[in-house]
Structure 1
C-alpha cells in the first residue's frame, strides 16, 4: 500500500508541469498574436498614408524647368581663429553646397582644394563681433555663396552652386 502512494505522487507533479507548459505556450502564442497585430496595424496605417505620396511625382512634373536640389557636404568642417582684443576666439562652420546639376557639382569637386581655400580665407577675414548676430551670419552665408559662384564660374564655366548652406555654426 505504501508503494502505491509513492507511485501516484510523481504523476500528479507531472500533471502540474504539463499545465505550466500549456500556460507558457499560451502566453507565447498571445505575445506573438499581439506583435502580429501591432505590425499589421502599423503597416495598414503607413500604407494608407503612402497613397498621397504616390501623387507627388505628378506635382514634380508640373514644374519641368526646376530640377531637384542636390547637396554636397564639405567635410571636414572649417575651423578658423580670431584674435579679438587679446583673446583667442574660434569659429567652426560646417558647409553644404546646393546645386541642381550633378555633373556641375562633380566638376566642382575637382576644384575642391581651391574651394576650401576660398572658404578659409573668407571665414578668417570676418569680424567676430558681426558674426554673433543673425544678420552677420546671413551676410557671411551670402558672401560665401557669391564667392563660390564666382569661383565655379571661373573654374568650370558654369554656375554650379545655387546656395551655400551652413549646417553647423559655432562661435567660441
Structure 2
C-alpha cells in the first residue's frame, strides 16, 4: 500500500509540473505575440531609422569657394594723380550650380565689377570701412547678376584674396 501511495503522489506531482510548464509556455507565447504586435504597429526597424534620422544633426552643405577669374586692375584718380587698384576676388556658395553660373556669366560679372571698382574713391579704399563697404557692394552686384540671370542669388559672401593700392 505504501508503494501505491508513493506511485500516486509521484504521478500527481508530474501532472502539476506539466500544468505549470504548459501555463508558463502559454504565458511566454502571449508575451512574445504582444511584443511582436507592438513592434509591428509602432514601425519596427523603420521607426528606429526615423528616430536616428530625426535626432542626427543636419549637416550644412559644404562651402564652395569660386574664384572670380583673373585679377581686376583699374585706375583711380586721387588729387590729380593716377593711382592703381588691383584685386582678386573669390565667392562663397554652397551650390555647385552657382559655380557653373559664375563661369557662364563671367563676362557680364567681370564687366559690372570693373565698372564698380573704377568708381571707387582711392582714399576710402585705404580704410577698413571702405574695404568692407566695397566688399558689400561687390556682393550685391554678384547677387543681382545671378538673380537676374538664374533666378537665385546663390552667393553668400565675397572675399578679397588680393588687395593692392598703388
Superposition pairs of residues 8-87 of structure 1, within 5 angstroms: 62-64=57-59, 66-87=60-81
Structure 1 residues without counterparts, runs of 5 or longer: 1-60
| Moved segments of 4+, more than 2 Å | 61-64
Which TM-score applies when normalising by structure 2? 0.64
Q: Which residue of 1 aligns with 2:16?
A: none
User: How far apart, CA to CA, are the structure 2 residues paired with 1:141 and 1:85?
Assistant: 24
**1:94 shift after superposition:** 0.5
* 132, 136, 143: which one aligns with 1:138: 132
- For these two proteins, the number of residue pairs brought into alignment is 111
**1:103 shift after superposition:** 1.3
* 89, 95, 100: which one aligns with 2:94: 100
User: How far apart, CA to CA, are the structure 2 residues paired with 1:111 and 1:63?
Assistant: 32
Q: Is the 8 A contact 2:68 2:102 kept in 1?
A: no
**1:92 shift after superposition:** 0.4
Q: Is the 8 A contact 1:94 1:168 kept in 2?
A: yes
Q: Is the 8 A contact 1:67 1:100 kept in 2?
A: yes
Superposition pairs of residues 148-163 of structure 1, within 5 angstroms: 148-163=142-157
Which TM-score applies when normalising by structure 1? 0.62
User: How far apart, CA to CA, are the structure 2 residues paired with 1:104 and 1:83?
Assistant: 35
Q: Is the 8 A contact 1:108 1:160 kept in 2?
A: no
Secondary structure of the equivalent of 1:76? coil
